[in-house]
């Protein structure tokens, strides 16, 4: 028999809500039935006796429904009320029948609490309840994974057979509870295997007080049933804090000891338990981050000049009443008070909504309500709001979304500090229970990404005059009207007039019918509208292009259709591996028909009869040169020698282990560069032979210097917010297949053969190209197979470790002002690793330092083909003089208590040859 119990009457009034509470409005009524999971009663507003009362139903502080008290109650006729249609009945949703304690209360539409008397004369300001349906628990403790104790728990409903996460887990030792957490992390493996809710996992880091080096036994129970998870108890031993500190210090020192340091650091990293926060930990991260946002903005941007009025534009069409009221509440709660909220009812034909709008307008003079005579769509309703706006800035707001309380203030601080005319923030999604998820941590302004995807979306603040001058929103693009507007605004603005505020300020509501809840496939017409909007934007820019959707996503492939063919010189270094080099060259010739190319083979001391025959054969073919370089391998020097012999204005650097198969590969890369004279380099998408990603752009500052994005991801997977399948501007690309404008190469001073002969020379070149005023684009539409450095072997063998470490330190010394600030990788992602997965750990004491204005890693400058961005010898000498000297380490300290060396796969490093 299912257990269903409400709390005792004494419990209902025992706890007063925290903070100031407005007195309840005088509402007549009675709560006359509380049984099973149903509440029933009647209520009437004596100030509006001719209309049924509408009440918010609030559970655990979230509006879950809006009730209308219009059920016929003949039994109240003796009270001489104006009508007997004053009753209500409410069934508590199944998601709250989970065996946990919840609190229910009622309020008027404008938020005043309603206190209804119940039997025994007790007035109920709130009702505590605990309901359990016919469910049972299934869960497993996986054990210690990557330094974290992990597992999963599901609550299974025996009637519907639904399997849901969100179960509370109690952790105890020796019978004493030490922690409680919620199993709501993403576990795709459990969802696939059991057909269950994927939000059912949990991770637990052992607290400092238990890190004493001794064995600890931990018990894990699902609550409230107190059911022990399979695999529990778990016995573990965690190093002490002193040992952890010592290990961390050794890691820092080990980086300076080159070959020995590499092995030492690898073993220490293996021994040190991971303390990472991933995207699955986002709800907890968001709670910790929220109080830090405003102080961070104050430190970064300073004060707001003047008292600018912000007009919040909100088209309204048949919203869920509870979600709509929550949206309005989020505007009224803004710390910046000088706003106006313009609500435009797009002919909803909903009497209850009309009444709500009237009450809201009467409640706050800053709320202005307008009604359309006929339904015209979201663009027309927004344009009506734009026409009525009085503020110097407008903000676009959907009728069921929510703003952070400090959203407007942070945006205005950023605008005041930067003088920019269009600003956008990061965003996430929020469900009906108020839980946040799926953060969209965005890059700084990325025009190429915007063509393929409306990554900007929310929150947008713009000059009112700018939006009006652009013509407002175009009704032809309803569903993608914001994407169209952003593209039209980009035509009127310079890149430095658009600013990204890297803070979560907007919560996009997840509902079954929304794009947020169902993905792009839920609104195919919107996706088609976006496709047309991008095509028309490019037509206005006189750029011939074909725009088409990428599968079922609201993401587009923009293929430029340019016919210019200035010529491309393809440079391929090789040493031996003749069969592989031949495959590379023959594939290029086969799939580059009609293009003006020359192939320059750079032979670095190949030996043997087959090598001699191959070089002679290739040297006799038209459009091919073979240059022999009989010197020790230095990738930068070899390619610089090759560039000195080219005749075309575009260079394509390619490894001899890269195989092309697309007949349009070179045309696509060249057109990306020809579409904008500011494009200095274009990188391709490289896949391992097994079809997983080897390169989809380079991110600076991760793992020390840089790392490839999405390594190991299936080749067709979209990756984080479609970053793996959309063309976008990036900070760097690998030179394993990289097209470079010759003018940009010369402006950067070429590859650095003196200090970066092997590793990181492509990253260094890309940074110098950007400092010379050019941009770099990654295109996912050129896909090549990369057979992973087969021509040279592993750069991290024993003979090359010292060289690699020296070049690693050279990059850190040269670009220490650039590497931590990749403009296309959000500052809230961690830099230690876990690209597009791990979140930056929040240290409140360190936040103000991090909040200082980010130095511009690449100055905004015109393209200057003759400018040299390479640091002078004098600059390099000065940097070395100010750098740290290696710190010595005694053999005794280095060898003490270290785990034995283990043979395992060597970590990949960022190098041209990869």
**SS3 letters across 410-475:** HHHHHHHHHCCCEEEEEEEEECCCCCEEEEECCCCCCHHHHHHCCCCCCCEEEEHHHHHHCCCCCH
Mean pLDDT over residues 475-482, rounded?
95
Q: Is residue 266 pLDDT above 80, yes or no? A: no
Predicted local confidence at residue 132, as pLDDT = 72
| pLDDT number for residue 893 | 25
Q: b or e along 823-853 (b: 16 or more beta carbons within 10 Å of the residue's beta carbon)? A: bbbbbbbbbeebbbebbbeeeeeebeebbee
Between 263 and 13, residue with greater pLDDT? 263
Q: Is 836 left (phi over 0), alpha (psi -120 to 50) or beta?
A: left
Three-class SS state of 261: helix
680, two tokens: 């200095």
Residue with tokens 């409005």: 25
User: Residue 874 has what pLDDT?
Assistant: 41
Does residue 63 surpass a pLDDT of 80?
A: yes
| Confidence (pLDDT) at 226 | 82
What is the Cα 846 distance to its own chain's centre? 22
Give the model's pLDDT for residue 688.
Answer: 94
Checking if the pLDDT of 797 tops 70, the result is no
Q: Tell me the pLDDT tens digit for each residue of 661-675.
A: 999 999 999 999 999
Q: Tell me, rounded to whole angstroms, the distance of Cα 507 from its chain centroid.
A: 13
The pLDDT score that the predictor gives to residue 512 is: 61
pTM higher than the cut 0.85: no
- The size of the chain, in residues, is 914
CATH topology of domain 568-822: Spore Coat Polysaccharide Biosynthesis Protein SpsA; Chain A (3.90.550)
- Under 8 Å between Cβ of 347 and 375: yes
Handedness of CA 316, 320, 321, 323 (dihedral sign): negative
pLDDT score, position 10: 31
What are the start and end residues of each CATH 2.60.40 domain in the chain? 135-238
**pLDDT band for position 704 (50/70/90)?**
confident
Question: Would you tell me how many other CB atoms lie within 10 Å of the CB of residue 5?
Answer: 10
- CATH of 135-238, picked from 1.10.8, 2.30.29, 1.10.10, 2.60.40, is 2.60.40
Q: Which of 652, 895, 678 is nearest to 782 (CA)?
A: 652
pLDDT higher than threshold 70 for residue 5: no
d(CA 573, CA 580): 12
DSSP 618-681: HHTSTTEEEEE--SS--HHHHHHHHHTT--SSEEEEE-TTEE---TTHHHHHHHHHHT-TTEEE
Average pLDDT score over residue span 474-495: 96
How do 98-108 and 54-59 pair as beta strands?
antiparallel
Read off the pLDDT of each residue in 442-470 and give the average, rounded to a whole number: 97
Which tokens hold the place of 623?
């459009």
Question: At a CB cut-off of 8 Å and minimum separation 6, what does 141 contact?
Answer: 149, 151, 220, 229, 230, 231, 232, 234
In 3D space, the residue among 46, 47, 43, 71 whose CA is nearest the CA of residue 57 turns out to be 43
Q: By CB neighbour count within 10 A (0-12 exposed, 13-18 middle, 19+ buried), where does 531 fall?
A: buried
| pLDDT, tens digit (0-9, with 9 covering 90-100), for 852-871 | 555 554 443 333 333 333 44
Q: Residue 94 to residues 13, 68, 152, 200, 248: CA-CA distances in angstroms?
A: 25, 21, 21, 18, 48
pLDDT band at residue 241 using 50, 70 and 90 as cut-offs:
low
Question: What is the pLDDT at residue 867?
Answer: 37
Q: Name the pLDDT band for 275 (thresholds 50, 70, 90).
A: low
- Say if residue 138's pLDDT is above 60: yes
- Residue 714: CB atoms within 10 Å: 14
Mean pLDDT of 788-815: 67
d(CA 898, CA 322): 59
Largest CA distance in the chain: 111
CA distances to 105, 136, 748 from 430, rounded to whole Å, are 22, 28, 46
In this prediction, residue 609 carries a pLDDT of: 84
Calpha distance 617→596 (Å, rounded): 21
Output the CA angle 395-398-404, nearest 5 degrees.
65
pLDDT averaged over every residue in the chain = 85
416 neighbors 303 (Cβ within 8 angstroms): yes
Strand (E) or helix (H) holding 121: none
Task: Write down the pLDDT at residue 728.
Answer: 98
User: Mean pLDDT across the stretch 365-391?
Assistant: 97
Counting Cα atoms < 13 Å in the Cβ hemisphere of 234 gives 25
Residue-wise pLDDT tens digits, 331-355: 999 999 999 999 999 999 999 999 9
**Which range, 125-139, 446-460, 795-809, 847-861, is most confident?**
446-460
pLDDT of residue 273: 57
Cis omega (within 30 of 0) on the bond before 233?
A: yes
With pLDDT > 70 as the criterion, what percentage of the chain qualifies?
83
Measure the CA–CA gap between 482 and 161, rounded to whole angstroms: 41
Q: List, for residues 574-618, the tens digit of each pLDDT value.
A: 999 999 999 999 999 999 989 999 999 999 988 888 898 999 999
Find, among 358, 311, 355, 356, the residue nearest to 336 by Cα: 311
Fold observed for domain 289-518 = Spore Coat Polysaccharide Biosynthesis Protein SpsA; Chain A (3.90.550)
Ranges for all domains in the chain classified under CATH 3.90.550.10: 289-518, 568-822
Residue 3 confidence (pLDDT) = 42
pLDDT of 736 reads 97
- pLDDT score of 826: 96
871: cis peptide before it, omega within 30°? no
CA distance linking residue 131 with residue 16, whole number of Å: 22
Q: Which of 323-327, 409-413, 820-824, 862-866 has the lowest mean pLDDT?
A: 862-866
Residue 178 dihedral angles phi and psi, to the nearest 5°: -125, -15
Rounded distance, CA 285 to CA 469, Å? 40
* Residue 869 to residue 871: CA distance in whole angstroms: 6
Torsion angle, alpha carbons of 787, 790, 795, 798, to 10: 130
Question: Tokens in use for 584?
Answer: 């590379």
- Give pLDDT tens digits for 415-440: 999 999 999 999 999 998 899 999 99
d(CA 914, CA 180): 45
Token code pair at residue 361: 């307008």
Residue in the structure block whose two tokens are 């009237």? 358
Mean pLDDT of 526-554: 94
The residue-averaged pLDDT of 387-409 equals 98
Non-local (6+) Cβ contacts of 825 within 8 A are 443, 699, 700, 701, 702, 731
Tell which wins on pLDDT, 684 or 155. Answer: 684
> Does position 752 have pLDDT exceeding 80, yes or no?
yes
User: Contact 910/707 with Cβ under 8 angstroms?
Assistant: yes
User: pLDDT higher for 249 or 116?
Assistant: 116
Lowest mean pLDDT of 46-55, 224-233, 545-554, name the range: 224-233
- The CA distance from 460 to 508, in Å, is 13
**Per residue, what are the HEC states of 196-237?**
CCCEEEEEECCCHHHCCCCEEEEEEEEECCCEECECCCEEEE
Residue 209 main-chain phi, psi, to 5 deg: -65, -15
Q: For 614-627, what is the mean pLDDT? A: 93
Report the range of poorest mean pLDDT among 529-533, 816-820, 872-876. 872-876
- Relative orientation angle of helices 407-418 and 282-301, to the nearest 10 degrees: 40
Chain centroid to CA 410: how far?
20
DSSP-assigned beta bridge partners for residue 693 = 687
């Amino acid at each position: 028999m299912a257990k269903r119990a409400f709390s005792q009457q004494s419990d209902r009034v025992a706890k007063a809500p925290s903070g100031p509470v407005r007195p309840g409005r005088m509402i007549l009524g009675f709560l006359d039935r509380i049984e099973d999971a149903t509440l029933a009663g009647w209520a009437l507003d004596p100030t509006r006796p001719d209309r049924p009362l509408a009440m918010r139903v609030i559970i655990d502080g979230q509006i879950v429904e809006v009730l209308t008290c219009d059920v016929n109650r003949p039994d109240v006729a003796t009270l001489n009320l104006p009508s007997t249609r004053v009753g209500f009945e409410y069934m508590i949703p199944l998601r709250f029948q989970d065996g946990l304690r919840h609190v229910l209360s009622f309020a008027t539409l404008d938020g005043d609490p309603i206190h209804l008397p119940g039997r025994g004369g007790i007035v109920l300001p709130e009702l505590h309840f605990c309901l359990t349906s016919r469910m049972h628990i299934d869960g497993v403790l996986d054990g210690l994974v990557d330094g974290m104790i992990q597992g999963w728990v599901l609550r299974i409903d025996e009637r519907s057979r639904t399997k849901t996460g969100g179960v509370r887990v109690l952790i105890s030792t020796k019978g004493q509870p030490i922690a409680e957490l919620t199993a709501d992390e993403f576990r795709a493996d459990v969802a696939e295997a059991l057909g269950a809710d994927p939000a059912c996992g949990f991770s637990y880091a052992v607290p400092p007080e238990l890190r004493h080096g001794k064995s600890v036994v931990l018990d894990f129970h699902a609550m409230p049933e107190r059911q022990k998870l399979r695999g529990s108890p778990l016995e573990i031993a965690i190093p002490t804090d002193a040992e952890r500190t010592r290990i961390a210090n050794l890691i820092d020192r080990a980086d300076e000891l080159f070959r020995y340091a590499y092995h030492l650091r690898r073993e220490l990293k293996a021994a040190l338990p991971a303390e990472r926060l991933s995207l699955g930990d986002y709800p907890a991260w968001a709670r910790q981050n929220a109080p830090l946002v405003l102080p961070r903005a104050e430190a970064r941007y300073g004060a707001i000049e003047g008292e600018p009025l912000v007009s919040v534009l909100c088209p309204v069409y048949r919203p869920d009443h509870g979600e709509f009221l929550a949206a309005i509440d989020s505007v009224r709660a803004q710390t910046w008070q000088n706003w106006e909220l313009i609500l435009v009812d797009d002919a909803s034909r909903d009497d209850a909504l009309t009444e709500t709008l009237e009450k809201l307008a009467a409640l706050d003079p800053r709320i202005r309500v307008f009604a359309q005579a006929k339904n015209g769509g979201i663009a027309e309703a927004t344009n009506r709001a734009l026409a009525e706006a009085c503020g110097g800035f407008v903000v676009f707001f959907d009728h069921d979304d929510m703003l952070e309380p400090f959203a407007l203030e942070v945006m205005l601080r950023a605008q005041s500090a930067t003088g920019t005319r269009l600003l956008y923030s990061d965003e996430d999604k929020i469900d009906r229970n108020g839980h946040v998820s799926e953060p969209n941590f965005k890059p700084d302004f990325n025009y190429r990404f915007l063509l393929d995807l409306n990554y900007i979306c929310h929150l947008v603040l713009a000059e009112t005059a700018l939006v009006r001058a652009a013509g407002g929103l175009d009704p032809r693009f309803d569903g993608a009207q914001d994407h169209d507007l952003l593209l039209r605004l980009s035509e009127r603005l310079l890149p430095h007039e658009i600013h990204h505020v890297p803070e979560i300020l907007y919560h996009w509501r997840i509902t079954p019918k929304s794009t947020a809840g169902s993905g792009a496939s839920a609104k195919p017409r919107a996706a088609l509208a976006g496709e047309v909007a991008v095509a028309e934007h490019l037509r206005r820019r006189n750029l011939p292009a074909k725009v088409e959707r990428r599968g079922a996503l609201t993401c587009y492939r923009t293929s430029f259709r340019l016919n210019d063919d200035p010529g491309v010189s393809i440079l391929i270094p090789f040493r031996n591996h003749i069969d592989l080099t031949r495959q590379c060259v023959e594939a290029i010739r086969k799939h580059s028909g009609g293009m003006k190319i020359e192939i320059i083979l750079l032979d670095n001391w190949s030996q043997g009869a087959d090598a001699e025959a191959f070089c002679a054969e290739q040297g006799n073919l038209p459009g091919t040169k073979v240059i022999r370089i009989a010197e020790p391998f230095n990738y930068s020097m070899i390619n610089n020698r090759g560039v000195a012999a080219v005749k075309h204005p575009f260079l394509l650097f390619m490894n001899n282990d890269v195989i092309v198969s697309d007949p349009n590969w070179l045309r696509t890369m060249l057109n990306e560069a020809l579409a904008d004279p500011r494009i200095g380099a274009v990188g391709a998408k490289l896949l391992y032979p097994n079809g997983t990603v080897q390169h989809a752009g380079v991110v600076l500052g991760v793992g020390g210097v840089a790392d490839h994005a999405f390594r190991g991801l299936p080749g067709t997977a979209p990756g984080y917010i479609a970053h793996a399948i959309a063309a976008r501007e990036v900070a760097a690309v690998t030179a394993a297949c990289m097209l470079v404008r010759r003018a940009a190469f010369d402006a950067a001073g070429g590859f650095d053969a003196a200090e970066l002969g092997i590793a990181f020379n492509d990253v260094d070149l890309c940074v110098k190209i950007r400092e010379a005023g050019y941009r770099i684009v990654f295109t996912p539409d050129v896909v090549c197979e990369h057979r992973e450095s087969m021509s040279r072997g592993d750069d991290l063998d024993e003979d090359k470790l010292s060289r690699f470490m020296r070049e690693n330190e050279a990059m850190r010394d040269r670009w220490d002002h650039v590497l931590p600030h990749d403009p296309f990788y959000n500052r809230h992602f961690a830099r230690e690793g876990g690209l597009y997965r791990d979140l930056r750990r929040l240290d409140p004491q360190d936040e103000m330092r991090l909040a200082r204005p980010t130095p511009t890693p690449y100055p905004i400058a015109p393209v200057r083909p003759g400018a040299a961005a390479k640091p002078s010898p004098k600059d390099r000498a000065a940097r070395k003089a100010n750098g740290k000297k290696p710190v010595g380490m005694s053999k005794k300290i280095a060898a003490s208590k270290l785990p034995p060396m283990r043979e395992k796969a060597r970590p990949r490093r960022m190098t041209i040859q990869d």
